[in-house]
Structure formats: C-alpha cells, structure tokens
Amino acid sequence: MAGALIAVVLAVSLKLGQVFFAAGSPGYYVAVSGFFGVALVSIIVCKVELFTSNIMYFTVGALTGRATPRALLCSWPTVYIGNLIGVLAFTAIFAGAGGFGALPANHLLFNVVEHKVHATSLEIFWKGVLCNWIICLAVWVPMRLANEAAKVMMVMLLVFVFFFSGYEHSIANMAFFALAELHNMPGLNAADIIHNMIPATLGNIVGGALGVGLVVYLLERHTLPQAAAEPASATAAPAGIGGKA
C-alpha cells in the first residue's frame, strides 16, 4: 500500500511539475517537491508500512529490546519487497489507463532519472543517507506536536526539504524507474537501475538507523518503553492499550 501511494503521488507530482518545466519556468521543482509530501502524510495516516521509516522504528525497537534482531532483519526486506510490489501494481494499472501517453525525450521524468543514473555510487549513497535522515525526522518530529494541522504541515515541509534537495529515496526511486520503463525512456537499462538502487538503499538504512533511530534512542531512552524483564502475568493488560505507541 505504501509503495502504491508513493507511486501515485509521484505520478501527479511529475505531471504538475511538467506544466512548469515545459514552459521553461525555473520553479518547476518547487511544484513537484511541494506536492510530494502528500504521499508521506497519507502513509502515516493510513498506518501502512514504508521501508524508509520502518528502518527507524525497528532500530529503536531493537535498541530498547521491544523487537528482536531477527524481527528487524525479517521486517526490512519484507517491507522493501512489499513496497516494490505496490509500486509495480500501480504502474501496471497506470499503464492500463494510458499512463502519461507519449512523452517527449526532454520530459521532466526522463530528466530526473537521467540525473539519478549518472551520479556516482558514493554520491548516491550519501544522498540516500541525507534523504532518510530527513524522512525519518518527518515521521518523528510531528510526534512531538499536539496539533494535527501542525503535524501535517511539518511532514509536508520536511518532505519538501528532502525532495527539493535532490536526495535519494529508494522507494520513490522504484517509482521513478518503473514510470520511466513504462514510458520507454531511451537508454535506461537494468544496470543503470541497480547502480542507483543499491547505494540509495544502503544510504537510506544508514540515515534512518543511525541518523534518527539511534539518536531517538539516545535522547529518549529513559522515556521509551523497554522490554519487560519478566513475562507479564496472565492478568496484566496488553502492552500499549490505552497508551501511545
């Protein structure tokens, strides 16, 4: 579900940005970046699983003992594959609906993908680190706010920071590449996609796990629920009932 939400919002963002891009307006990427935050807001509200934020959650869970290392190692690839399935499912349906139609060689989608596949592996990695540092902040920071409108605004603004900066989000990149393949981008091949996806994914793991997950634990370890030292009694209330996650 999260992968599909990323893909559908990205498709709309690109269509919106193309209006300005085709007119030669330098503000085209403001439009794309400003709208893309809708995807993360929707994911948070729907409580579906996004790989990048899942990294942060399970890092904190493992450090507090609320999740086992095995659960972490099972969750990350499962959610990653699930996000990919969601992206591909949307792309297949989008193709049935005609997609964007015939695209010119200088379309915004192709322009963005061209930059992604021609960056060096090290550049992609560090952009992946910075991306998920910001994305996980966009999930964590709103938890500190009480007002729902303020939470939405903070998510939108932080997603704008990541997207406008040109950082690498592995799941969003899945959608970029799937849409580019659907529209027969000239010169794009599997090697180009792998060249981007591997360092972007590794960078996302580092940025989410160390940049936010570890930091959250170090800053709030005295308030975070720790794993119980002994099994709860049969009459004890289930953990989390009536409280915050």
Residue 25's CB is within 10 A of a number of other CB atoms, namely: 13
**What is the mean pLDDT for each group of 10 consecutive residues in the chain (245 residues)?**
97 93 89 93 96 96 93 96 98 92 92 95 97 96 92 96 95 96 93 97 97 93 68 41 37
237-243 contacts at long range (C-beta below 8 A, 24 or more positions apart): none
Q: What is the pLDDT of residue 228?
A: 56
Sign of torsion, CA 58 211 243 62? positive
Residue 16 vs residues 30, 34, 104, 176, 205: alpha-carbon distances, Å: 10, 10, 16, 15, 30
DSSP result, 170-231: HHHHHHHHHHHHHTT-TT--HHHHHHHHHHHHHHHHHIIIIIIIIHHHHHHTTTSPPPPSSP
What pTM did the predictor assign?
0.88
Taking the C-alpha atoms of residue 11 and residue 25, their distance in angstroms, rounded to an integer, is 19
Q: What is the pLDDT of residue 26?
A: 85
Q: What is the pLDDT of residue 245?
A: 42
DSSP result, 112-162: HHHHHHHS-HHHHHHHHHHHHHHHHHHHHGGGG---HHHHHHHHHHHHHHH
Residue 230's CB is within 10 A of a number of other CB atoms, namely: 5
Taking the C-alpha atoms of residue 140 and residue 157, their distance in angstroms, rounded to an integer, is 13
Of the candidates 70, 42, 64, the one whose C-alpha atom is nearest the C-alpha of residue 225 is: 64
